[in-house]
Each structure stands twice: as structure tokens, then as C-alpha cells.
């Protein structure tokens, strides 16, 4: 059956206990930031397009306190981390950059410190605990970045600009994790709202709330438990192909291109570039259409768009894999399922399925029977974005 999503208070307690064991005192600050699932709009964010994610109840928690020196010590409670689970470094006095290094998970922390929008930052001691699965396509990285930024805001407040906060976290991932990600993950982790998905315009950074609170409908996330890494060549290659297509079309980005533009220029680009551009142009249209039908409660129409999105990601963008295709096919065989698709960067990770609440158990059982691997399931609803929590 579905895995229960751990209560945030339980994650906080885990982090507090580890903090007290290592530092011999109680933390002064506790914050959290959620992971996300994208309902539709994949690989459109770095093309200035639209996305339709929602924040999850799966979160990254940071507990910690100031340090009177410029020293920083951070521990992770994540037992999946194979490398050292503690990192120590000093905040540079002269404005010199913090260099990435080992352990790899700490580069996200260093990147956020580097791009934080207020100074001077004090030293600090912190513990990180998370329920967002690593490499599952639910944005564990953005959840970590936004949680660290929210923690730093309690030590040295910035101007409170929430979009600029998301951009700083995106820059951290670019500079210190080496992933040229779009802005979607960080924005929804910052701006997420309970009972709503967010239609995000990745060019203007505007976010429009899309109600999603019908109790008769639920979101099922299925983790294939196939790990992926976006630092490989595939993600940067897709991004480069999109830029090449936009250049051939004479557009600032594929956001500005139409299918007619693409067909008119087909003879000037190879088949792969054409396929990548076709996915993005159509996916942007699907996402805008999807937000409209979701607002009106037209779940069957939204489900069809989800399946179209998956097929396009499989055939045109070529970022799916056998396991994800299996999960989507199995879900779509269950009566009461509206739609299913891969979500996240691809090559593993999760699928997202929209279905009637009363068929969840049946759907999970059917997927387990049909899937060749060992999946993990989460039944979820849209949750709040980054926030400060009470220590009491």
C-alpha cells in the first residue's frame, strides 16, 4: 500500500535529536521546505514556458543556531548518503567564493550561502533531515536549497523577495551542483500553497494559483526506485538542443515558437532537434490548457493531456525509460484513473497519476502486480511552501 508521509514534527524531532547529540545544546531555529511534483509541463521551464507543479508534504527540515565564529558545521541525517555526513567550512571574510567539493550534498548548502542575498552572514551549526527521496524526480535538491535559504533568513534577514529567493537557490544549483536547472522547482518550493497547484510562467516568474482540493480526486506518486542523476550529459544535451532549435527559428526561446514556425523550418534542422522542439512547443500549450481544465474540474480532459505529455516525453524528448513506461501503462489500465505520466527530469524517478480517491488501493495493487521492479507509493495533496516552524 501507499507509504505514509512522515509528519513534519517527526522529521523535526529526528533533526533535533541529532543536533543535540553532536552539539550538546538545543537548536534555536527550525524551518522546512517541500519537494514538489509536476502535474504537467516537463522540460519547459528552461525554455521560458509554463509548468504546473504543486508542493508536497514531503519536506526538508533544517534545525540550527548561530556560531559566534565564522565557522559552519552541517550534518545530514540522511542515511542514503554514502559520503561523509558532516561538513565543516569557514565563511570567507574577503568575499572570495566558496568552492564546491566533497561531500557532494554539501555543495547545495555552500551554493545557497554563496548566493544568499544579505550580509554579513554569521557562522552556524545545522542539521538537515529530509523525507524527499533522493533522485526520485521530486526535487530533493530544490527542497534542500530553499530550506537552507529559509534558515539563513532567520540568521540574517534579506528583503523578503520570494521570487529573488527562488532565483538565488537556482543559481546555487547552477554554480555549485553543476546542474543547469530551470526555475520551477525552487519557485514552487518557495511559493507552494495548500489545496492549490501553481501555474508558473517561467519567463515572468508569475505564479497563478489553480485550485486542487476536490476530496473525490487524489494524486498518486509512484517512485520507480530507479535512480537518476541530472548531472549526466542528457539534461545539458536536451537544453542545448532546445537553444539550437530556438536559434534556427530566430526566437529568443521555444516559448515564442509555434508549430507552424517549426514546420516551416523543418528542412533546416535535423530530426532530433525537430523532435525536441516539437515536444517543448506542444508541452507549453498542453500546460496552459491543463491549468484551464483543472480549474473547471474536467479531470478526464486533464488526464488525457497527462498521457499525451508522457508519450511526447517518451517519443520526442526521449527522457523516459522502460520502468516509467511500465508504471504509466499499468496505471492507465485501472478504471477510475484519469491520467498518468512521468514527472521530473526523467531516466527514472517517479510517475504522477490523477485518479478517483476510491480506486487508490486497487490502482496500487494493479501497478505492483504489473511492474517489474519494487515501487514506492505516496498518496498526496498540494501542500504549503517553505516556512518557519515552532521549536515548542
Out of 80, 185, 261, 315, pick the active-site residue.
185
Q: What is the separation of C-alpha 101 from the centre of its chain, rounded to a whole number of angstroms?
A: 23
Task: Give φ, ψ of 209 to 5 degrees.
Answer: -70, 135
Element holding 353 (H helix, E strand):
strand 350-356
The DSSP letter of residue 194 is T
Alpha-carbon span 222 to 184, nearest angstrom: 21
Helix axes 184-191, 140-155, angle to 10 degrees: 50
Alpha-carbon span 375 to 226, nearest angstrom: 9
The DSSP letter of residue 192 is -
Alpha-carbon span 272 to 214, nearest angstrom: 40
Q: Could you write out the DSSP letters of every residue in 130-169?
A: E-SPTTSSS-HHHHHHHHHHHHHHHHS-----HHHHHHHH
Q: Are 85 and 78 in contact (CB under 8 A)?
A: yes
Alpha-carbon span 168 to 18, nearest angstrom: 28
Q: Could you write out the DSSP letters of every residue in 86-124?
A: EEEEE--SS-PPPPP-SSTTHHHHHHHHHH-SSSPPPEE
Q: What is the separation of C-alpha 279 from the centre of its chain, rounded to a whole number of angstroms?
A: 20
CA atoms within 13 A on the CB side of 213: 8
Alpha-carbon span 146 to 172, nearest angstrom: 10
Q: What is the dihedral of CA 156, 162, 164, 170, to 10 degrees?
A: 100
Reply yes or no on whether 201 is catalytic. no
Active site positions, annotated = 185
Amino acid at each position: 500500500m501507499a507509504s505514509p508521509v512522515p509528519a513534519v514534527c517527526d522529521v523535526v524531532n529526528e533533526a533535533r535529536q541529532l543536533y543535540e547529540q553532536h552539539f550538546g545544546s538545543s537548536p534555536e531555529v527550525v524551518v522546512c521546505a517541500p519537494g514538489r511534483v509536476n502535474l504537467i509541463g516537463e522540460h519547459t521551464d528552461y525554455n521560458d514556458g509554463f509548468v504546473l507543479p504543486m508542493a508536497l508534504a514531503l519536506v526538508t527540515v533544517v534545525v540550527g543556531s548561530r556560531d559566534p565564529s565564522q565557522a559552519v558545521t552541517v550534518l545530514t541525517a540522511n542515511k542514503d548518503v554514502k559520503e561523509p555526513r558532516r561538513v565543516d567550512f569557514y565563511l570567507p571574510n574577503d568575499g572570495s567564493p566558496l568552492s564546491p567539493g566533497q561531500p557532494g550534498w554539501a555543495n547545495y548548502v555552500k551554493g545557497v550561502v554563496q548566493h544568499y542575498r544579505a550580509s554579513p552572514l554569521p557562522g552556524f551549526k545545522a542539521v538537515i533531515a529530509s523525507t524527499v527521496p533522493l533522485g526520485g524526480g521530486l526535487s530533493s535538491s530544490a527542497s534542500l536549497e530553499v530550506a537552507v535559504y529559509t534558515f539563513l533568513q532567520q540568521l540574517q534577514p534579506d528583503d523578503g523577495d520570494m521570487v529573488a529567493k527562488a532565483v538565488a537557490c537556482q543559481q546555487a544549483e547552477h554554480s555549485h551542483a553543476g546542474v543547469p536547472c530551470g526555475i520551477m522547482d525552487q519557485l514552487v518550493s518557495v511559493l507552494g500553497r495548500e489545496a492549490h497547484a501553481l501555474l508558473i510562467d517561467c519567463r515572468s516568474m508569475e505564479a497563478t494559483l489553480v485550485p486542487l482540493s476536490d476530496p473525490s480526486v487524489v494524486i498518486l506518486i509512484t517512485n520507480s526506485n530507479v535512480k537518476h542523476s541530472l548531472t549526466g550529459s542528457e539534461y545539458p544535451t536536451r537544453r542545448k538542443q532546445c537553444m539550437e532549435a530556438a536559434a534556427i527559428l530566430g526566437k529568443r526561446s521555444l516559448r515564442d515558437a509555434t508549430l507552424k514556425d517549426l514546420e516551416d523550418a523543418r528542412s533546416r534542422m535535423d530530426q532530433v532537434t525537430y523532435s525536441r522542439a516539437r515536444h517543448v512547443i506542444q508541452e507549453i500549450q498542453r500546460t496552459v490548457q491543463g491549468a484551464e481544465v483543472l480549474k473547471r474540474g474536467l479531470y478526464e480532459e486533464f488526464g488525457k493531456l497527462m498521457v499525451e505529455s508522457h508519450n511526447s516525453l517518451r517519443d520526442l524528448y526521449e527522457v523516459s525509460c522502460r520502468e516509467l513506461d511500465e508504471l504509466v501503462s499499468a496505471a492507465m489500465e485501472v478504471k477510475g484513473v484519469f491520467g498518468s505520466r512521468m514527472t521530473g527530469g526523467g531516466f527514472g524517478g517517479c510517475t504522477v497519476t490523477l485518479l478517483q480517491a476510491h480506486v487508490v488501493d486497487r490502482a496500487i495493487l494493479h501497478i505492483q502486480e504489473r511492474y517489474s521492479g519494487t515501487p514506492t507509493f505516496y498518496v498526496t495533496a498540494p501542500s504549503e511552501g517553505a516556512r518557519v516552524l515552532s521549536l515548542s
